[in-house]
Amino acid sequence: MTSIVRAPGNLIVATIEKVDVRFAGVDVTKAPLHVDVPLGTPCVVVYLSAVRGYETVSHDAEIAQTRSREDLAAEAEEAQNDGPPKLSNLDTVGVTITDDEGTQYEPSGFRMVGDGLGWDDMRVYTPAPPSAAATLHLDFTVDGESTNSGCDVALSPC
């Protein structure tokens, strides 16, 4: 079990093209099927969420007015082939995890789902925190640049 000790009040840890990305939680658990470590491997899972609001939709409409029909048609065809819109690029948001014991955590997989208006991102990191660790430190970046919106999460023994 975990509890947030320090985080931005609104939980916004990054902004991508006017879309706010929120820290939605962290869990110390076992790896699911779709990651690059064996099923059940102890790990840390970080959840992020992004939702397009009225301002973002208006911004997209303004940009669309400046583009040609051919460009828009090509993008629509690409989006249809590739799944969720490219704005789902939550992958430009990086998360670096450390703990008070100095452990370094490595990305081991992710799952992102979205419908064009909102996206949820689940990222898996290994190893699991050592038993002596009391706090995880999460630092967020966009394209490698710090967002200065870190979070601290207390680890509670299960």
Q: What pLDDT score does 86 carry?
A: 47
Higher pLDDT, 79 or 126: 126
Q: Which CATH entry fits the domain spanning 2-155: 3.10.620, 3.30.1180, 2.60.40, 1.10.405?
A: 2.60.40
Burial of residue 112, with CB atoms counted within 10 A of its CB: 0-12 exposed, 13-18 middle, 19 or more buried: middle
Average pLDDT, the chain: 82
pLDDT of 55 over the 70 cut: no
For the whole model, what pTM was predicted? Answer: 0.76
Q: What whole-number distance in Å separates Cα of residue 144 and Cα of residue 40?
A: 30
pLDDT digits (tens, 9 = 90+) for 92-115: 889 999 999 999 999 998 888 777
Q: What whole-number distance in Å separates Cα of residue 83 and Cα of residue 111?
A: 13
Q: Which of the residue ranges 32-46, 77-91, 122-136 has the most confident prediction, judged by mean pLDDT?
A: 122-136
Q: What pLDDT score does 133 carry?
A: 96
Residue 117 CB neighbour total at 10 angstroms: 12
Q: Integer distance in angstroms from the first to the last C-alpha of the chain? A: 6
Q: In this structure, is the dihedral angle defined by the CA atoms of residues 99, 104, 108 and 111, taken in order, positive or negative?
A: positive
The model's confidence at residue 84, banded by pLDDT at 50, 70 and 90, is very low
The model's confidence at residue 78, banded by pLDDT at 50, 70 and 90, is low
Burial of residue 21, with CB atoms counted within 10 A of its CB: 0-12 exposed, 13-18 middle, 19 or more buried: buried
Q: What pLDDT score does 73 carry?
A: 73
Q: What pLDDT score does 125 carry?
A: 95
The pLDDT > 90 percentage for the chain reads 40
